[in-house]
Structure 1
């Protein structure tokens, strides 16, 4: 399928996995004017078309990491979104609450608008977002109810709908102390007021996993969904809790959000064995886990691949499913007319060491590796040492 335009760029001859089209096969993908302009076999090149040879690699829609922290320099936990794009093949980083209404203008002006990679955001209901998160200082921003700023958050979210996709709140012993569900109450009021979904973080009780789920609405996201005990989604016997299944039935979405303390192999194995896969796979990458145990999006994806999830399902949860959670169907797809983002991947065989957030290690036999990125319709880079993306002579 192709538009009647001259393509600016063609990725030639890869295995293309695009769950948004239920497609898995060899095809070319073309780009023009910052969007996907063609999809199919042997797409014609015009004068000046840039052709990149990616035969032997896998091309997917640009990866979406639904849970990141990329307010670099503005918060102690932020990483650089462009560096992350090059590292992990993530073309869209969704920052989840690094900024609140009090520091949103700086995040927008100094990071989002200057980055090459796409950045969207859930706005924190806390006035200053996640402001005290480091190896030496750890202050739960939701523990002081005076910092909840629903009126200001609603105003900022409504005025920045081009970039803000939802409202974020963190509840749990570490994030909200003894406040229980009070911060969640405030965040839900904002989400209702502006007509946006909410993403809720959960750590140790209080509140309980079940209490948080009971308050979430269809389309809201529970992140850290495969937490270790306490506040795990399954019983000690490995059975998925009834409240978890009931929440999914009414449309609550479950996101991995690996991070530094929120993902356990034991929980994941139990949930997958019971047929309960996450809706989205995300890294929760930040300064305290970018060097392990989360590392990045492709490492998090690799863990699920090594636990038996089929490759196309892993990619689905990092592309089209994330786009649907964002309510932005132009993301996460290689259909002509979609955003001009693509990620070039390979899957390597061998013995690879993976670690969860409680210290359990797993030796996996496969690893997903980012080989290159197309961003906004142009070839951005090939990973260092990559054999893919060699430029082929353009048509004359």
Structure 2
């Protein structure tokens, strides 16, 4: 769409109605609703618009089973214009993942798994010899435009007898590469009280609402001291819903105690996209409407907040002169049953549904 056209009467999440004038794939003007001028007008009445959604935790390397999927299946077809592969590949295969961007409409970045084998097997940190510091640093240098952080999955099934040592090695690699670490938490050991104190400002805890015994809240639903301390020093909290890492009971406790997310991500891959409980970014966001978060806070968690963490604020804004990077969606009053990773259900009254994206100069319908 290289001509000048107007996306008319779309609603921003603050409920403001606007016209967005797009020319040569860029936002030319933001106008009061009904005032935009262009050769073609597209009626966006009934649609919300935000900057393109960003999913900070996906698995987009389809060769690795079970944790893999096609880039655009979990990207633009979901209303998500930018995805971050969260450690599918280590240094052995990161070049292949980087090359896969060429065939995709979705923007793709990556967190480099500190294990060189990545998710070729699911106990990738059980052998410390697979953590090759020089290969990590070489991969980071070779893919500076692509690798945005490091990934360490610190749970029992991944580290086995290696314990906390992989996280200590990740911390040192973070220092040497100047990249933050996203840490997956789950079943222990290692104990959560040993994991969280090792995290630094701008590191990310993903799966922070998981319902496993080794989680971040006590039996009464109160946040552990290591969690409140981490938040105070600037550690970020990411949802990372996934197949086994989101609990309504924990999410409800977190909200009661004002332990709020920085980012909402899906941890999506083929299995939990097709069979649930994730299904889509829209479906995950709808669960947070049920939990009582405002639409503005929910959408910020997939737009300007992850964009800021990525160091790419332009991805999280709608501003004249920027590339048109937009997600169009609806919020519908409709009873919807939601299922968490524990099999618990909740009946919501609203759902979010992505309708399309503008990215790289074209409109793609969801």
| TM-score of the superposed pair, with normalisation by structure 2 | 0.95
Query: Which residue is equivalent to 2:162?
Result: 179
Query: Which residue is equivalent to 2:44?
Result: 54
Query: Which residue is equivalent to 1:117?
Result: 106
Where does the alignment leave 5 or more consecutive residues of structure 2 unmatched?
A: none
CA contact (8 A) 2:116 2:130 kept: yes
Deviates more, 1:81-90 or 1:199-208: 81-90
* 1:157-208 deviation per Cα after TM superposition (whole angstroms, max 9, x unaligned): 1221211111111111011112122111222222211211111111111112
Matching of residue 274 in structure 1 with residue 257 in structure 2: yes
* 1:229-253 deviation per Cα after TM superposition (whole angstroms, max 9, x unaligned): 3122111111111111110110000
- Alignment match of 2:291 (pick from 304, 307, 310): 307
- 1:224 Cα deviation from its structure 2 partner: 0.5
Matching of residue 14 in structure 1 with residue 29 in structure 2: no
Query: Which residue is equivalent to 2:337?
Result: 353
- Alignment match of 1:207 (pick from 190, 193, 210): 190
- 1:372 Cα deviation from its structure 2 partner: 1.1
Across the two proteins, how many residue pairs are aligned to each other? 363
Query: Which residue is equivalent to 1:371?
Result: 355
CA contact (8 A) 1:96 1:122 kept: yes
Distance 1:307 1:77, change over 3 A: same
- 1:350 Cα deviation from its structure 2 partner: 1.8
CA contact (8 A) 1:150 1:189 kept: no
Secondary structure of the residue that 1:302 maps to in structure 2? helix
Distance 1:44 1:304, change over 3 A: closer
- 1:75 Cα deviation from its structure 2 partner: 5.1
CA RMSD of aligned residues (A): 1.7
Where does the alignment leave 5 or more consecutive residues of structure 1 unmatched?
A: 1-5, 18-22, 133-138, 384-396
- 1:50 Cα deviation from its structure 2 partner: 4.2
CA contact (8 A) 1:96 1:121 kept: yes
CA contact (8 A) 1:227 1:262 kept: yes
Deviates more, 1:97-106 or 1:371-380: 371-380
- Once the two structures are superposed, the pairs formed by residues 1-396 of structure 1 within 5 Å of their partners are 8-17=4-13, 23-41=14-32, 42=34, 44-46=36-38, 49-73=39-63, 76-109=66-99, 111-132=100-121, 139-290=122-273, 291-381=275-365, 383=366
CA contact (8 A) 1:74 1:107 kept: no
Query: Which residue is equivalent to 1:390?
Result: none
CA contact (8 A) 2:64 2:119 kept: no
Distance 1:362 1:162, change over 3 A: same
| TM-score of the superposed pair, with normalisation by structure 1 | 0.88
How far apart, in 2, do the equivalents of 1:76 and 1:360 lie? 24
- 1:364 Cα deviation from its structure 2 partner: 0.8
CA contact (8 A) 1:7 1:30 kept: no
Distance 1:73 1:337, change over 3 A: farther
- Which structure is higher in RCO with an 8 Å CA cutoff and minimum separation 6? 1
How far apart, in 2, do the equivalents of 1:37 and 1:130 lie? 43
- 1:347 Cα deviation from its structure 2 partner: 0.9
Structure with greater proportional helix content: 2
How far apart, in 2, do the equivalents of 1:355 and 1:237 lie? 22
How far apart, in 2, do the equivalents of 1:181 and 1:32 lie? 52
How far apart, in 2, do the equivalents of 1:321 and 1:281 lie? 10
* 1:69-99 deviation per Cα after TM superposition (whole angstroms, max 9, x unaligned): 0112355421112122344201111100011
